[in-house]
């Protein structure tokens, strides 16, 4: 090729340029794939990091489960910094505004139970007698107890005060049947509540953060609500004490005791929530002891005032110390193996505690099978 490079050299250069261009294209494509993969990896890491402490409501809504019971500890905690809320809505678990809310919540729960009993107790009822006649004094809003209800039924199975003719086999069938009924109703209520919340929540506007003076006023009102329970106990007629006012006195301490147990023990075990389990076990034991105190034969039954206080301790303190709502949510959120372990161990411990507390006392003859208390 005159006046220029040979054609072979030109062709070689063209091929080299084409190869370099193709190589650069492949390099850019590989780099883009690496960046895309890296970005996807970072996104997954962020999602995993944000789900290290799963929200219990989200778990129920997705019909999923968790394999670490410690992640359920947030059920009994107030909003925290992890939820990216305004500072005004964030409180420490043991701060005074949080503890003060237990006063009106537990008292309103007792009053709600009384109202439910009043409107669902009537002759010929086809549904409500299935639970109100058997769970007569353990309906406290948010804080009745699955184990305690089974314990109460165990008490009734032991005393058989109706005079029905049945042997130990029928007693066992009755106790197991009522336990299964309680568990089924509790878990069904959680599912029903989750569906109802998903329907209502999008239609309810979010509340704005109240000003500081309003938050202080709410805390003061909560304390005054509990303070009002004391004059109500002493000033209202005596027959109201056993029905309501004695329970109002003991409800807040029971709720605070369960809250303290959940804060201290729930994060310590991966199998099941240890704090809730401990609260329900202690409540069951306390209920058995109170049953004995209300059924003393020798030297004689307690006075009417003492009977009212004993019943108030069972309705208020034990009713608030124990919980069926949190228990059912925890069972629903745990994986199958941990859930059944939690249910089975709770049931077994409740039966064992009552067998030890009630069985030996009734066998001695100093305690009647039915309560001997006479209320005002």
Task: State pLDDT tens for residues 194-251.
Answer: 888 888 888 988 888 788 899 899 999 999 999 999 999 999 998 888 888 999 999 9
| CA 102 – CA 317 distance, rounded (Å) | 13
Whole-angstrom CA distances from 297 to 103, 246, 300, 319, 327 are 36, 23, 5, 26, 36
Tokens encoding 98: 């949080």
The Cα 91–Cα 78 span in angstroms is: 7
Do 285 and 322 form a contact (C-beta atoms < 8 A)?
A: no
Q: What is the pLDDT of residue 261?
A: 94
| Residue 252 to residue 231: CA distance in whole angstroms | 16
Quote the crossing angle between the two packed helices 336-354 and 325-333, to the nearest 10°: 140
Strand partners, 66: 334
Omega of the bond prior to 299 within 30 degrees of 0, cis?
yes
Yes or no: say if 343 and 331 are a contact pair by the CB < 8 Å rule: yes
Element holding 61 (H helix, E strand): helix 56-61
CB 51: neighbour CB atoms within 10 A? 11
Q: What is the per-residue pLDDT across 140-159, written as a single tens digit (0 to 9) for each?
A: 323 334 334 444 444 444 44
- In this predicted model, what pLDDT tens digit does every residue of 46-67 receive, in sequence order? 433 334 455 666 666 666 677 7
**What count of other Cβ atoms lies within 10 Å of the Cβ of residue 245?**
23
Handedness of CA 263, 264, 267, 269 (dihedral sign): negative
> For 19-23, 226-230, 322-326, 345-349, which range has the lowest pLDDT when averaged over its residues?
19-23
- So what's the pLDDT on residue 357? 87
């Amino acid at each position: 090729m005159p006046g220029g490079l040979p054609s072979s050299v030109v062709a070689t250069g063209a091929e080299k340029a084409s190869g370099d261009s193709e190589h650069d294209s492949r390099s850019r494509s590989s780099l883009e794939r690496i960046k895309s993969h890296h970005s996807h990896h970072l996104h997954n890491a962020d999602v995993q990091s944000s789900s290290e402490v799963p929200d219990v409501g989200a778990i129920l809504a997705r019909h999923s489960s968790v394999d670490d019971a410690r992640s359920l500890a947030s059920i009994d905690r107030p909003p925290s910094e992890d939820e990216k809320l305004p500072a005004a809505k964030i409180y420490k678990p043991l701060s005074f505004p949080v503890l003060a809310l237990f006063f009106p919540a537990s008292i309103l729960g007792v009053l709600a139970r009384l109202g439910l009993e009043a409107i669902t107790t009537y002759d010929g009822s086809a549904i409500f007698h299935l639970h109100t006649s058997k769970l007569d004094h353990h309906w406290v809003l948010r804080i009745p107890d699955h184990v305690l209800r089974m314990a109460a039924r165990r008490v009734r199975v032991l005393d058989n005060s109706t005079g029905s003719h049945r042997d130990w086999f029928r007693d066992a069938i009755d106790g197991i049947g009522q336990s299964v009924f309680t568990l089924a109703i509790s878990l069904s209520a959680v599912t029903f509540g989750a569906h109802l919340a998903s329907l209502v929540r999008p239609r309810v506007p979010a509340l704005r953060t109240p000003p500081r003076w309003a938050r202080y006023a709410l805390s003061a009102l909560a304390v005054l609500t509990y303070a009002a329970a004391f004059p109500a106990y002493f000033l209202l007629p005596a027959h109201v004490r056993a029905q309501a006012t004695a329970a109002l006195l003991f409800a807040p301490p029971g709720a605070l005791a369960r809250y303290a147990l959940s804060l201290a023990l729930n994060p310590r075990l991966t199998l099941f929530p240890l704090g809730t389990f401990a609260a329900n076990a202690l409540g069951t034991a306390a209920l058995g002891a109170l049953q004995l105190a209300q059924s003393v034969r020798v030297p004689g039954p307690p006075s009417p005032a003492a009977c009212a206080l004993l019943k108030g301790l069972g309705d208020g303190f034990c009713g608030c110390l124990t919980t069926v709502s949190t228990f059912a949510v925890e069972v629903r959120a745990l994986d199958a193996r941990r859930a059944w372990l939690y249910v089975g161990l709770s049931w077994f411990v409740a039966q064992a505690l009552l067998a030890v507390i009630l069985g030996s006392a009734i066998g001695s003859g100093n305690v009647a099978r039915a309560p001997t208390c006479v209320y005002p």
